[in-house]
Chains A and B, each alone.
Chain A
Amino acid sequence: MKTLKAFSRRLRGLLHAHRAENDFAAELDSHVAMHVEDGMSAGLSAEEARRQALIKLGGLEQTRQAYRERVTLVWFENLVRDVRYALRMLVRQRAVTAVAVVSIGLGIGANATIFSMVSRFVLRPAPVGDPSTLLSLQIIPDKESCCNKFSWPLYQDMRDDARSFSSVAAYYDLLPASIGGSGEPERVWGQATTTNFFDTLELPMVLGRSFTNDEDSKQVIVLGEALWRRRFGGDPTIVGSTILLSGRTFTVIGIAPAAFHSIEQILNAQFWVPLGTAAQLVPNLPQKSARDYHWLAIAARMRPEVTRVQVRAELNTLAARFAQSFPATDKGEQFVMEQAGGLQMRDRTSALIFLGALLLVVLLLLAIAAANVANLLFAQAANRQRDMAVRLALGATRARLQRQMLIESTLMATCGGVLGVLLSLWSTRGLSAVKLPAPVPLDLHIGIDWRVLLFCFVLSVLSGVLLGIGPAWAAARPLVASALKGEEALARPGRKLTLRNLLMIAQMAMSVVLLSATVLFLRSLQGAASINIGFNPHGTLIFSVDPRLHGYTAERTVNFLNQLRDRVAALPGVANVVCTDVAPLSGGNRSDGFTAPGESGKKKPFTYADLYMVTPGYFKTLGISLLAGHDFGNDAAGGPRMAVINKTFADRLFHGLNPVGRQVNGPKGPYEIIGVVADVKSRTLGEQTRPILYRSLAQSVESDPSFMGYTLIVKTAGDPAVLSEAVRRQVYALDPAMAIYNEETMEEHVRTAYVLPNLGAALFGIFGSIGVTLATTGLYGVIDYSVSRRTREIGIRIALGARPGTVERLFLRQGLVLTLIALALGWPAAWMLTKIAASLLYGVQPHDAVTFFTVPLLLVAVALGACWIPARRAALVDPIQTLRTE
Chain B
Amino acid sequence: MGERTDVWQGTLALMVLRTLETMGAQHGYGLARRIEQISGDKLQLNYGTLYPALLKLEQEGTIRSHWGVSENNRRAKFYELTKAGQRELRKATAEWEQTTEILARFLAQGGEA
Contact = CB atoms under 8 A, between A and B. Distances in A.
A259 interface: no
A27 B77 contact: yes
Interface string A31-44: 10111011000000
Interface stretch (B17-25, B46-54, B94-102, B104-112): B46-54
A658 interface: no
Contact of B29 (A23, A35, A67): A35
B4 interface: no
Contacts of B59: 5-6, 9-10, 13, 70
A58 B70 contact: no
Contact of A30 (B56, B60, B77): B77
A57 interface: yes
Nearest to A56: B47
A245 to B, nearest CB: 62
Contact of A57 (B33, B48, B88): B48
A67 B59 CA distance: 12
A62 B48 contact: yes
A30 B52 contact: no
Contacts of A85: none
A598 B1 CA distance: 120
B46 A56 contact: yes
Nearest to B65: A27
A69 interface: yes
Interface of A: 2-3, 5-6, 9-10, 13, 23-24, 26-28, 30-31, 33-35, 37-38, 56-59, 62-63, 66-67, 69-71
B55 A70 contact: yes
B56 A70 contact: yes
A76 to B, nearest CB: 14
B27 to A, nearest CB: 7
Contacts of B56: 6, 70
Nearest to A10: B59
Most buried by A among B28, B46, B51, B75: B51
A9 B64 CA distance: 13
Contacts of B62: 2
A58 B53 CA distance: 15
A67 B52 contact: yes
Most buried by B among A2, A34, A38, A71: A34
A578 B90 CA distance: 90
B60 A6 contact: yes
A5 B75 contact: no
Nearest to A38: B33
A33 B48 contact: no
B83 interface: no
24 contacts: A5-B59, A6-B56, A6-B60, A9-B58, A27-B51, A28-B51, A30-B70, A30-B74, A30-B76, A31-B28, A31-B29, A31-B76, A34-B30, A56-B46, A56-B47, A57-B47, A63-B51, A66-B51, A67-B51, A67-B52, A69-B52, A70-B52, A70-B55, A71-B55
In the complex, the 10 A-B pairs of residues with the closest C-beta atoms, listed nearest first: A58-B48, A63-B48, A6-B59, A9-B59, A70-B52, A58-B46, A34-B29, A57-B48, A31-B29, A27-B77
Interface in B52-94: 52, 55-56, 58-62, 70, 72, 74-77, 88
Contact of A58 (B27, B49, B74, B77): B49
Most buried by A among B27, B48, B56, B76: B48
Contacts of B74: 30, 33-34, 37
B13 to A, nearest CB: 11
Contacts of B60: 2-3, 5-6
A429 B102 CA distance: 68
Contacts of B46: 56-58
B49 A27 contact: no
Contacts of B33: 38
A9 B27 CA distance: 22
A38 B27 CA distance: 15
A5 to B, nearest CB: 5
Contacts of A59: 48
A59 B47 CA distance: 10
B103 to A, nearest CB: 25
Given A13-B59, A30-B27, A70-B52, 18 more contacts: A26-B75, A27-B51, A27-B76, A27-B77, A30-B75, A31-B27, A31-B76, A34-B72, A34-B74, A34-B76, A56-B47, A58-B48, A63-B51, A66-B51, A66-B52, A67-B51, A67-B55, A70-B59
